[in-house]
Each structure stands twice: as C-alpha cells, then as structure tokens.
Amino acid sequence: MMLKTEPFVLNIGPVHPSTHGVFRMRATLDGEVIIGLEPVFGYLHRGIEKLAEERTYGGVIPLTDRLDYLASMSNNLAYVLAVEKLAGISVPERAQYLRVIMAELQRIAAFLIAVGAFINDCGAFFTPFLYMFREREKIVDLFEMVSGQRLLYNYMRIGGLSQDVPDEFFPALDRFVRQMPAFIGEYERLLKENEILLARAKGVGILSQEKAVNCSMSGPVLRASGVKWDIRKVDPYLVYDRFEFDVPTGSVGDCYDRYRVRIEEIRQSLRIIKQAMEQIPSGAVKSDVPHLIHPPAGEAYAHIEAPKGELGFYLVSDNSIAPYRCHVRAPSLMNLTTLREMIIGWKIQDAIIIFGSIDITMGEVDR
C-alpha cells in the first residue's frame, strides 16, 4: 500500500563552517526526499566592490583579504595582477617566484580546511579535521613569518610584495615540503578506502561534464567532473609556465571525486613549491611604484586559479587614484549555481554532504 504524502517546506542551515547564519537552503520535501530547493544567500553583503571605488588602488588590497578569508594570499594576488595589467607595471622575477610559493601554500591550506570540513559533514566528527588543521597551522606559521598575520595577510603589493621573506623562511618551508607527503599518506590511510566515506560520498551529488561547463564551474568542482581545465596551464601567469605539474581530474563528478581531486592537487602544489625553491633568483621584490598610481583610462581583467576556482578582478580606470569600477568574478558564487540540480532527488543527509563538497566561503559570494 502506497502512503499518500504531501510536500512541505523546510529551511535547512547553517550546515557548514562557512555558513554561520548567512546561508540557508529552502527545501521542499516529500518525506525525506528533496524535490525542490532554493539556495538563499545575501545576508553577508559587505559592499566590497563599491567600497573599492572610494579607495586608492593600493588601499583596496586589504579588502580583498576579506573575500575568501581562507585564501587571502590568492585574493591579494588576483587583484594586484589586474592593477599591474591596467597600469602596465612590471614585477621583479624574485617577487614572481615568491608569489607562486605563497599562492601554492595558500592552496594547500585552503584544501586542508575544505577536505577536513567535508569529512566532518560526512559524520567523522572532527578527527580528520583536526589532523588537517595541524598541517595548516604550519603554513599559517610561514605566512606569519612574512606578513605578521595568521588569517588576513595583506602581503601582496602593486609591483611586488610588501617585503622579502626572512632568513628562517626557506629552511622552515623546506621542512614542511619534506614532511607533508607523509601526512598526506596518513590522510589516505584514514579516508581513501573508508567504508563510511565511500558509502556516503560515492555516486552522490553527480555533476556531469556538460552541466559543469554550461554553468561556468571552475576549480576542483569542474575538474572532478572530468574537465581538465586549470588557468595555471591554459593561461599561465607569473612564472607558472616554468614548472612541471599535472592537473588531476575525476571521472564521475560525485562528492568522492571532488574530495579526491583536492587531495591530489595538494601533491601537485608541493611539486610546484619544490621547483620554485630550486629556481628562485635573488634580487628586489618590488618595483619602484609611486604610492598613488594613476592608471591610464581603460579596463583590464586578470584571473588566477584560486583554491576554489577561477578568481578574477575586472577594473575600469578613469585616470584617477581610485578604480572607477571594480568587479569580482568569485568562484564560490559561480559554483553554487548548480547546487539545486545536484541536490534534488537526494535526502536531507545527502544535501549536507553535497553542499560541503562544493567548498564555498560566503565572503566572496556576497561581495
């Protein structure tokens, strides 16, 4: 005998460490099965793009830290690249290598949080998360050496960096690079064939290649669906064309593939850092750039492969000391556009995992 049920609406959230009261899912349920979903966001709107129009070009850099606050170095980098492109400013080679090292360290740190939080969503209450936080702290220590900060770094500058790295930086970085593969192996022994993770993530929240491309997905979410697209390869910036590294992809596009791609990308980031340490030249870390710059009237767009995907800054200049217009192409916002299609048909407990596998930060969703 079939039971007659009536759909009802349930507000779900916050359900993830980065959605502390600023994101909810308005789900229509038939029993426990989700038959409709409306992602609701906009509560954290900080007006960063508008604030940028009232600040000098250099004064905007601290605002970028607060977009994806788990990847502040990457945010700094994408913005200063756009300003340098707009103003025609060159960057010393040593600064370019150091930027690569900082960006790849930031990628590893962001993925450690992403994977740890995802495993927590799957039900492994905090154990893997704390293991991964242990290694993230070592990266944060390195960032503190160069910037004095542990979350919002404000380290990049137009034309280079705020300062060179201290003498103790490279020995500490070398230790980290040598030790990290063993810790990745530890994660793999805990998780790769874990029957609970396999049961909860395999085949769940599948995103097809076609849907991923049509919805402008990027980063690990796109590559997990089998699309081999990485801006560091297809449109190299800084000195990325001098390094050898692979672009990991998935085959199914499910939650498990998104987890696996991030783990493999940590290994590739370590490869890049090793090569950068071997190749880095001596010299200046900042060009001679005036405190107040007046880029010629025009527009520029620069993008990078940030931990969550393509992060781009579009700037318009009217030859004044502040951007006439600043717009951010934020990967977290773009990657949320497929959430509805990925969740419909699954149950409430699956929705938590699917949402966690996307890895978003609300700071760059509500800009």
Query: How far from each other are the two terminal CA atoms of the chain, in whole angstroms?
Result: 51
pLDDT tens digits along 119-177 = 988 887 778 889 999 999 999 999 999 999 999 999 999 999 999 999 999 999 999 99
Residue 215 pLDDT greater than 80, yes or no: yes
Of 212-226, 284-298, 353-367, the one with minimum mean pLDDT is: 353-367
Fold of 8-365: Cytochrome-c3 Hydrogenase; chain B (1.10.645)
pLDDT at 1: 56
The runs of H, that is alpha helices, within the chain are 48-52, 61-65, 72-87, 93-121, 127-147, 169-191, 195-201, 209-214, 219-224, 231-234, 255-279, 331-335, 339-343, 348-358, 362-365
| C-beta of residue 335 within 8 angstroms of C-beta of residue 19 | no
Round to whole Å and give the CA distance between 251 and 225. Answer: 6
* Digit-coded pLDDT (tens) for 235-281: 999 999 999 999 999 999 999 999 999 999 999 999 999 999 999 99
pTM of the model: 0.95
Give the start-to-end residue ranges of the domains of the chain: 8-365
Instruction: State the chain's mean pLDDT as an integer.
Output: 93
CB 16 within 8 A of CB 359: no
pLDDT digits (tens, 9 = 90+) for 293-321: 999 999 999 999 999 999 999 999 999 99
Measured between alpha carbons, how far is 60 from 76 in angstroms, rounded to an integer? 9
pLDDT at residue 123, as a whole number: 83
**Residue 95, pLDDT above cutoff 80:** yes
| Residue-wise pLDDT tens digits, 40-92 | 887 778 889 999 999 999 999 999 999 999 999 999 999 999 999 999 999 99
The model's confidence at residue 354, banded by pLDDT at 50, 70 and 90, is: very high
Q: Which residue has the higher pLDDT, 359 or 16?
A: 359
Q: What pLDDT shows up at residue 257?
A: 97
- Segment 11-42, tens digit of pLDDT: 887 777 667 678 888 999 998 899 999 988 87
